[in-house]
Every structure is written in C-alpha cells, then in structure tokens.
Amino acid sequence: MEAVGQLADCSDAAKLLPEIRSNLVMALADAKNVNEIAGIPGRLTEVFGRITAAAYPAWGASKNTARILLAVMKLDSSRRAVMEIKYSEELLKIIQAHGISTALLQSGCESLDQTLDSCMIDQQLPPVLYTAGGFAREGAIIVTGVNAVEVTQMVSKIAAWYSQEQKQEQ
C-alpha cells in the first residue's frame, strides 16, 4: 500500500490515468503465474483529483497486467513491478526528453514474449514500454521497475514533468 499511497500523495498523478484506469502489480521474486502477482482489485482510479485504490492489493487481481509483468520478468528477473499510464505522443516525448529509454511494443508478433523480445536494446529491456493503441484499443505506457515503490516514484516524476510542461504551454 506504500506505493499506492505515494500515488495518492502526488497531486499530478491522476492526470496520467488512462480512460480504462490503471493497475499496479508486483510479483513474488520467483513468480511463475498470475496468482503469484499482487494487483489492485477494481483498478486504480481517480477520486477528487487523486489516485485511489478500490481495495487492498490481492494475489491474482489483475490478470492482463500480471501477464505483461511475467513476460517482462522472463527478460529481466529484477523487474518485479509494472504500472500502466495513459499514452500520448506528448507524454512519450517528455519521458524521452528526461533520458528515459523507451521501446514500442510492436503489433503483429505471435506472442507477448516475442513482442517484448523485439523491444530489447543492446540486450536490455528499456524501463518504459508503450503502444499507441489501435482500433477500439487505448494506447498505454508501461512503466517497469524492481518493485512497486520504484515504479510509483517514476510515475510521480513523469506526472510532475507532464504538469510542468502543461503549465509552460499555457
């Protein structure tokens, strides 16, 4: 819950929630299936401009995000947490401008594992992955990290950069 609390304390973080809302998941070190990954039942959402959780984390609560994390862990077992935030070209450019490596999740691969394999840069998986979405699918930016707190710290930084950029445009 420390990670969710950090998001709630970041006044700008709710601006990063996708329309479909978000989830934050974290795996056991040796996780092999979605039931060994904790997520937020009901997802993370916004209440009065702040991110909040509908419930306490639970094992197996987020099947789709957990599957992404399992695939990430196959390539880098030290990364045991991921969170989805909204996708926009502006947000992606802000992340890249701050020196954070990103990779596009290519569509057309036969499996999620192959999709992530295509993201490897110099034998490394970048900490931020993204998809622009498509027909009836919202794009997403996926932030990865060693644990949920590290991920939420990165999301909070991204939120601050995004907010600062929006203020400069006004």
The answer to whether residues 22 and 65 touch, using CB atoms and an 8 Å cutoff, is no
pTM of the model: 0.90
The answer to whether residues 85 and 43 touch, using CB atoms and an 8 Å cutoff, is no
Residue type, 63: K
Domain coordinates in residue numbering, the chain: 2-169
pLDDT in tens, 37-84: 999 999 999 999 999 998 999 999 999 899 989 989 988 999 999 999
Query: How large is the average pLDDT for residues 21-41?
Result: 96
- At 6 the pLDDT is 94
- At 118 the pLDDT is 61
Pairwise CA distance, residues 68 & 34, whole Å: 10
pLDDT in tens, 67-126: 989 989 988 999 999 999 999 999 999 999 999 999 887 666 555 656 666 655 556 788
Query: How large is the average pLDDT for residues 10-17?
Result: 95
2-169 has which CATH code?
Answer: 3.40.225.10
Which residue in this structure is represented by tokens 């992606």? 92
- At 103 the pLDDT is 85
Pairwise CA distance, residues 3 & 7, whole Å: 7
Maximum distance among all alpha carbons in the chain? 47
- What's the pLDDT band for 131 if we cut at 50, 70, 90? confident
